[in-house]
Amino acid sequence: MKAIQIRATGGPEVLELAELPIPQPGAGQVLLRVEAIGVNFIEAYFRKGQYKSTLPLTPGSEAAGIVEEIGPSVSGFAIGDAVASTSVIGSYAEYALVPAAQLVKVPDGLSPEKAAAAMLQGMTAHYLAHSTWPLKQGETALIHAGAGGTGLLLTQMAVRIGARVITTVSTPEKAELSREAGASDVILYTEQDFAAETKRLTGGRGVDVVYDSVGKTTFEGSLSCLRPRGLLALFGGSSGAVPPVDPIQLSSKGSLFLTRPTLWHYISTREELEWRAGEVLKWVASGELKLRMEHVYALEDAPQAHADLESRKTTGKILLEP
Ligand code: NDP
Q: Quick one: pLDDT at residue 285?
A: 96
Residue nearest to atom 35 of ligand 1 (CA): 236
Residue nearest to atom 42 of ligand 1 (CA): 124
> Ligand 1 centre from 301 Cα, in Å?
20
Q: What is the mean pLDDT of residues 185-202?
A: 98
Q: Give, in order, the Cα–Cα distances in Å from 127 to each of 82, 92, 265, 281.
A: 24, 25, 10, 14
Ligand 1 atom at minimal distance to the Cα of residue 146: 47
Ligand 1 atom at minimal distance to the Cα of residue 263: 40
Tell me the pLDDT tens digit for each residue of 106-137.
999 999 999 999 999 999 999 999 999 999 99
260 touches 236 (CB < 8 A): no
> Ligand 1 centre from 101 Cα, in Å?
28
Tell me the pLDDT tens digit for each residue of 200-214.
999 999 999 999 999
Q: Quick one: pLDDT at residue 313?
A: 87
Ligand 1 atom at minimal distance to the Cα of residue 317: 2
Tell me the pLDDT tens digit for each residue of 231-267.
999 999 999 999 999 999 999 999 999 999 999 999 9
> Ligand 1 centre from 281 Cα, in Å?
22
Of 13, 279, 247, which is closest to residue 122 (Cα–Cα)? 279
> Ligand 1 centre from 2 Cα, in Å?
28
Q: What is the mean pLDDT of residues 27-55?
A: 96
Tell me the pLDDT tens digit for each residue of 257-304.
999 999 999 999 999 999 999 999 999 999 999 999 989 999 999 999
What phi-psi label fits residue 25: left (phi over 0), alpha (psi between -120 and 50 degrees) or beta? beta
> Ligand 1 centre from 41 Cα, in Å?
7
Ligand 1 atom at minimal distance to the Cα of residue 310: 20
With respect to CATH, is domain 136-260 assigned 3.40.50.720?
yes
156 touches 300 (CB < 8 A): no
**128, 190, 213, 263, best to mutate for ligand 1 pocket (most atoms within 8 Å of CB):** 213
Tell me the pLDDT tens digit for each residue of 12-23.
999 999 999 999
Mean pLDDT of the chain: 97
Residue nearest to atom 16 of ligand 1 (CA): 239
Ligand 1 atom at minimal distance to the Cα of residue 169: 47
Q: Examine the pLDDT at 230 and tell me if it is beyond 90.
A: yes
> Ligand 1 centre from 36 Cα, in Å?
21
The span from the CA of 87 to the CA of 67, in Å, is 15
> Ligand 1 centre from 69 Cα, in Å?
35
Bridge partner list, 29: 99
Q: Quick one: pLDDT at residue 316?
A: 87
Query: Ligand 1 site: residues with CB under 6 angstroms?
Result: 40-42, 120-121, 124, 145, 147-151, 169-170, 174, 213-214, 217, 235-239, 261-263, 310, 312, 314
In one letter, which amino acid is 118?
A: A
Ligand 1 atom at minimal distance to the Cα of residue 150: 25
Bridge partner list, 143: 167, 211
The span from the CA of 25 to the CA of 269, in Å, is 22
User: What is the third-level CATH fold of 2-118+268-321?
Assistant: Quinone Oxidoreductase; Chain A, domain 1 (3.90.180)
Provide, for the chain, the percentages of residues in helix, strand and coil under a 3-state DSSP scheme, each rounded to the nearest 5: 35, 25, 40
Residue nearest to atom 28 of ligand 1 (CA): 213
Q: Are strands 62-70 and 82-85 parallel, antiparallel or unpaired?
A: antiparallel
The span from the CA of 283 to the CA of 115, in Å, is 11
Q: Where are the domains of the chain?
A: 2-118+268-321, 136-260
**Phi–psi pair at 201, nearest 5 degrees:** -70, -20
Q: What is the mean pLDDT of residues 93-112?
A: 97
> Ligand 1 centre from 27 Cα, in Å?
35
In the chain, which ranges are E strands? 2-6, 15-19, 29-39, 62-70, 82-85, 95-99, 103-105, 140-143, 164-169, 185-188, 207-212, 226-234, 257-259, 295-298, 318-321
